[in-house]
A and B are shown apart, each in its own frame.
Chain A
């Protein structure tokens, strides 16, 4: 029998029931982070989520074969660890010391690869042969297509028609990788609708198919699982920052937030430090700023919605941030006061992108340019004091956005 202390200790481990410092541990048994998360799914998909949860829990135990294969692939295939770049010229321009976690240098060009290598391996472990994925900017679609090729899986990617147009290059890359891209013409024809369509596919194909969700959203266990698969970003960054700063932690940790996976992975590495954690959403898709708690895509979280609960369309120059919700753990971190969530406007994002290009020779994707745009503003208005040390996750590179940025700057 478990002692009372063991039970207490387990509670402590679970986010949401602990009254102590905020941690990013396992959610409660019903998939809650505080009041958020859960598994709001049609009955047809409940057994698949239970199976996935069990498979991930077993795979993610310490010292498993899964962990070894995952780590080896991240190193030898994806190119981890990614560097931490100490940005001299950008730091000079902003008056704060900026350290960039370079997820743009991974294979396929964004942090999304960390997640799909994990989910691809799990798919094999569950004996499934097909992946479905949703994508906004196309980075998760490209990453999923890549994992499918690597593991010999069939792959179908759902992508809103608005996004297939503005991310044509990524559509082509997915096809080259052997995936089928299905444009989604329903609703707002962006990421939200691609998720709907992927879920509809999954209900009909669940026996052979794994839904390879691209962010820390959706029903339990996805928000937890994807954060764990992305925590390598934060864990590496923390060790790298400490090595650089002789054991010190940064004052501020910043990441952009669409669904919130690169931010969750980043924050997981710093949540128990004194660093201030800031997530940056697109102004037109600010779930924390303008959202109301609701249920969409299997989770309870902050959502852009009207007075009757109809989901509103997010609006952003960045396809990857065009989502009316946010991962439930971010909703929890916001409510608990451990992280704050800010926004960046399209215009300042374009400026930040050019600033980084010109000062450091790094062209970021539009998504992490949001994180940088907020930082630029915050250093100017003094809400980030001069002399601070800032760790910013550069979640992806800007190649995919070149055409769109060119048009926007014209």
Chain B
């Protein structure tokens, strides 16, 4: 098993490094309690993303990200047609699929390790539907994954997956967009579990030169209607952007910036260093 090295932060959140709950739950760490505790401890949340099955060392990359101070990790279960993803994650998904990645294989690898932070799967709905809703929820929990992000499953289509996830012990994280109207935003926050994922910009994932102006507006709108953790993602490319994006939110997801490194041949340690740089910047504020 991997052992996060960081100590639990004190009330002021002054302790940098990896955070973990006192005792990991059987079948993974529940998302919302862990993220709330970390946030309420005064810490900005850092959620790195790793494409499952990308290269033989993807589990080591995940561990390195956790050890470098992640508060939760997102694991991509690659899909052949990722319409919400830009070139980097498209490429990462394609390469993982070419290497034979399947949800069962990825979740099997996750089941054999123990991570001290919540693991959230990110995938597209067809993988859920094909496996079957209950079976998919069980696959996740058996792999220690307690959260799911399914970007092509908006509120109106949650019907079949929502109850299966709840019964199975999976928290479904919903995405809020800059164009989501107020009434819908409130409902979405109500029905999101684990955290609320604020989409920084109108567009797909991928690195950007600067943080979109829509990010801050959405973060403020979300914080005004929910006390669930609000984590912003899409386009966070460097520590400065991460700091800026989390001023009015509880934290950030970093995905393409890390996957670009992995695609370029970076070692788990090098990815860990990058995550650590994000961690340090967020802790400094």
Contact = CB atoms under 8 A, between A and B. Distances in A.
Interface of A: 30, 38-44, 46-48, 186-187, 192-193, 196, 199-200, 203-207, 292-298, 300, 303, 305, 307-311
Nearest to A29: B156
A186 B90 contact: yes
A295 B154 contact: no
Q: Considering the complex of A and B, which 8 residue pairs feature the smallest CB-CB distances, nearest first?
A: A309-B130, A204-B203, A44-B177, A309-B126, A310-B80, A309-B127, A43-B177, A311-B80
A303 B126 CA distance: 10
Given A38-B157, A40-B125, A43-B188, A294 B130 contact: yes
Interface of B: 79-84, 86, 90, 94, 97, 102-104, 124-131, 151-157, 174-181, 184, 188, 199, 201-204
Nearest to A31: B156
Nearest to B175: A43
Contacts of B84: 42, 200, 203
Nearest to A293: B129
A295 B179 contact: no
A295 B152 contact: yes
Contacts of A311: 80-81, 126
Contacts, number: 113
Main secondary structure of the interface of A (DSSP, over half): mixed
B152 A298 contact: yes
A207 B202 contact: yes
Contact of B126 (A41, A207, A294): A294
A41 B202 contact: no
A5 B201 CA distance: 47
Contacts of B128: 309
Nearest to A205: B202
A310 B123 CA distance: 12
A39 B154 contact: yes
B204 A204 contact: yes
A38 B154 CA distance: 11
Contacts of A200: 83-84, 86, 203-204
Given A42-B152, A207-B202, A294-B130, A310 B79 contact: yes
A41 to B, nearest CB: 6
Contact of A47 (B86, B179, B188): B179
B81 A42 contact: no
A296 B202 contact: no
Given A40-B153, A47-B181, A309-B129, A204 B202 contact: yes
Most buried by B among A44, A46, A187: A44
Given A295-B124, A297-B81, A309-B130, 12 more contacts: A38-B157, A42-B152, A44-B178, A46-B154, A48-B179, A187-B81, A192-B81, A203-B84, A203-B202, A205-B202, A305-B130, A311-B126
